[in-house]
Amino acid sequence: WADSDGGKVELRKWADDTDCKLPLKPVEIAATAAKIGELLSGKEGPDNFASLDAYMQSQMNPLASDVIKACLPNGLNVPFPSNTFSLMVTTGAKGSTVNQSQISCLLGQQALEGRRVPRMSSGRTLPSFQPYDPMPRADGYVADRFLTGIRPQEYYFHCMAGREGLVDTAVKTSRSGYLQRCLVKHLEELKVSYDGTVRDGEGGVVQFLYGEDGIDPIKAAYLGNSSSNLQFLARNYAALKKRYTALPHCSIDLAASDAEKIEEMKESSIVFNVGSFVRARKLRIGSRWKRGALCRGWFDAIITKTYDDDKHYDIEYVKDKTNALHMPRVITLLGCGSRITPAETGLCTLIEPSVPDPILFDCEREGGGHRVGSSGLCVSEKVARDVTLAMSNDKRLISTLNNVGLSSDDFRNLIAAKYGSALVNPGEAVGSIAAQSIGEPSTQMTLNTFHLAGSGANVTLGIPRLREIIMSAAKTLKTPTMSVPINPSMSDREASRLVNDFTKLTIMDLIANKGGIVVTESIQQSGGGFWERCYQVTLKLHPAERIWEAFSLTIEDVARVVTRSYIPKLAYIMKMELKKSNSAGDVAASNVQGGGASEFMENDGTMDPEVDKVRKPQKKDSEYDDELTGEEDGVSGSRFGH
């Protein structure tokens, strides 16, 4: 029960919630702590700690986010605007949502260098907790808030995070400031020219159009496809028409038609109609389409007439306005050989589907007077397409246009005038603006670590990344990333296999969890009568099915790598170690041998030490395609989920 203005409000117990998970019993907590201690104290302790840390954060951080969403802004006892603190944050006077959530909701997970609170050698994070306590509170998760106070343990964790923020502020502020100074000095000569290009001090072109659309971001707030923004423009048409000076031929119709042509080419089967934009070959000499008579390259053209056979067309070339009558779409060049490929069969395509150049970059249209800033037709295809779709599909925008009495043509012209007024001004120092856009937020991120202590919003890890890329220009990045676009027709399984091809894989990832490496020592007599000390190293891998599902590798592939790479490296390391330790001549000679790539044994899948020496037939690759990754032999498929 909770008192509220003199009344009683019953709070539902967790036991009455069917979706709620039951808390652990003391016996279960002790067993879990023992298991965690076993995993964290072994040889793989650091790896297990990182895995446990990542998993717990992935489970607890969404809970904190859900609590904040439930409380802010509609779950407060005193709602906005009567709540003065919420009024201050919402209006932007001072403070942020993070400050409000720490005061009203909870502090959440305290993060130290992106990880949870580390444990001491005793397994405790603080002396008040049990060793390897599995509860989130023992690892720095603070469910309390500043409004009602926090307990001593949570206060200590929060002080640890705050101290880290102070250190970052003292150390990294100078680095981020120097980063901004370097950026400004290198980019200050970049400016916008009168032809819309971005050039350096020597006149070299850096961008043919600033931002690829020529728009000043400060003036582009109402150029998006938001319904509320478009309704605002429609309701204030009379005032905006006086404010925005329209350029000649001001309209978005040309850009919208170009966008429609692009969509038609993507979606439809390639069927040419009158008015279709294509690219075509051109005759250099004569009137017959044959080898040696064609000009090099392709030329933009428009279909002017189609024939019933859908194989011949009349076209008009865009550049010189010449015509080609009854032009075939595909011809066969004589003197070519086999029928294996289109190139070898002599097939030559004369007409291909195409899309016009982006209207912002097409200076040849409209007789050369078609330039950004001088023609009102120069509107981005994206803006024109979004506005056109909104005018046909957005019911609220259509209703607003009808209520105001505004025609579709007038609204399109207003959007074009708005776009023309949002163009960047010539002479704008866009280089310095770009440098400040990177440098100033990096400085603020460093300073904000004190105010957002432990909330997970500490983003100063990005400053060393910026210094590495921009200032030092390191050839080998510490954390390199790669974006590889794939064919849309590729399946998820094929894409995952492509990812595996790019992923570094070591033998350690393939060795079984239990009994993976077995070393046996023996004394044997050689053929020459000498007694030799022999070591036999046996590597036990995960089941072949699991390795194939995770990495698309067969046992033969793994054995080939072991024999060609692993054994020679092992022999080299042993030789170097023997040279270091053989001061008294204890070792006469060393020899490392291994079986061939086909000499390996398979067990029965039960991870039994006894090895079944009978070779089992390998499955074909196609038999694994439909198998799902499950848990077999104590090996989880998520272990290989890179």
- What average pLDDT does range 443-464 have in this prediction? 52
Which range has highest mean pLDDT (206-220, 438-452, 457-471)? 206-220
pLDDT at residue 430 above 70? yes
Q: What's the pLDDT score for residue 145?
A: 93
Q: State phi, psi for 225 to the nearest 5 degrees.
A: -95, 20
CB atoms within 10 A of CB 251: 19
At 492, which helix (H) or strand (E)?
A: helix 492-502
Let me know: does 168 contact 458? Beta carbons within 8 Å. yes
- What distance in Å separates the CA atoms of residue 432 and residue 192, rounded to the nearest whole number? 12
End-to-end, the C-alpha distance of the chain in Å comes to 48
- Per-chain mean pLDDT for the chain: 77
Considering only residues 100 and 467, tell me which one the structure prediction assigns the higher pLDDT. Answer: 100
Q: What's the pLDDT score for residue 141?
A: 93
Query: Taking Cα atoms as reference points, which of 448, 459, 463, 460 lies closest to residue 97?
Result: 448
The pLDDT-based confidence of 370 (bands split at 50, 70, 90) is low
Q: In the CATH hierarchy, which fold is given to the domain comprising 24-150? A: Topoisomerase I; Chain A, domain 4 (1.10.132)
- What average pLDDT does range 520-528 have in this prediction? 84
pLDDT at residue 559 above 70? yes
- What distance in Å separates the CA atoms of residue 211 and residue 423, rounded to the nearest whole number? 11
pLDDT at residue 11 above 80? no
Angle at 114 between CA 110 and CA 117, to 5 degrees: 45
Question: pLDDT tens digits, residue range 142-154?
Answer: 999 999 999 999 9
- What average pLDDT does range 374-391 have in this prediction? 79
Q: What's the pLDDT score for residue 206?
A: 92
CB atoms within 10 A of CB 360: 20
pLDDT at residue 7 above 60? no
Q: What's the pLDDT score for residue 491?
A: 84
Is residue 73 reached through a cis peptide bond, with omega within 30 degrees of 0 on the bond before it?
Answer: yes
pLDDT at residue 457 above 70? no
Least confident interval from 56-70, 166-180, 220-234: 166-180
Q: What's the pLDDT score for residue 331?
A: 82
Least confident interval from 39-53, 126-140, 579-593, 596-610: 596-610
- What distance in Å separates the CA atoms of residue 24 and residue 160, rounded to the nearest whole number? 29
Pairing mode of beta strands 108-109, 141-142: antiparallel
- What distance in Å separates the CA atoms of residue 189 and residue 106, rounded to the nearest whole number? 48
Considering only residues 474 and 486, tell me which one the structure prediction assigns the higher pLDDT. Answer: 486
Question: pLDDT tens digits, residue range 205-230?
Answer: 999 888 888 889 888 888 877 888 88
3-state secondary structure 48-69: HHHHHHHHHHHHHHHHHHHHHH
pLDDT at residue 9 above 70? no
Q: CA 437 → CA 247, 441, 582, distances in Å?
A: 31, 7, 62
For residue 600, what are the contacts with CB-CB under 8 A and spacing of at least 6? 555, 559
Question: pLDDT tens digits, residue range 618-636?
Answer: 444 443 333 333 333 333 3
pLDDT at residue 459 above 60? no
Q: What's the pLDDT score for residue 1?
A: 36
pTM of the predicted model over 0.75: no
Query: Taking Cα atoms as reference points, which of 533, 537, 499, 503 lies closest to residue 520?
Result: 537
- What average pLDDT does range 283-298 have in this prediction? 80
| Residue spans per domain, the chain | 24-150, 220-423, 492-640
pLDDT at residue 329 above 50? yes
Residue type, 589: A
The three-class DSSP label of residue 245 is coil
- What distance in Å separates the CA atoms of residue 503 and residue 119, rounded to the nearest whole number? 32
Q: State phi, psi for 459 to the nearest 5 degrees.
A: -115, 20
Q: State phi, psi for 317 to the nearest 5 degrees.
A: -70, 135
Query: Taking Cα atoms as reference points, which of 348, 343, 350, 278 lies closest to residue 312?
Result: 350
The pLDDT-based confidence of 332 (bands split at 50, 70, 90) is confident
What DSSP character marks residue 210? G
What DSSP character marks residue 628? -
- What average pLDDT does range 28-50 have in this prediction? 86
- What distance in Å separates the CA atoms of residue 445 and residue 179, rounded to the nearest whole number? 13
Question: pLDDT tens digits, residue range 242-256?
Answer: 888 777 667 777 777
Query: Taking Cα atoms as reference points, which of 463, 542, 553, 476 lies closest to residue 510?
Result: 542
Query: Taking Cα atoms as reference points, which of 213, 192, 174, 166 lies closest to residue 359?
Result: 213
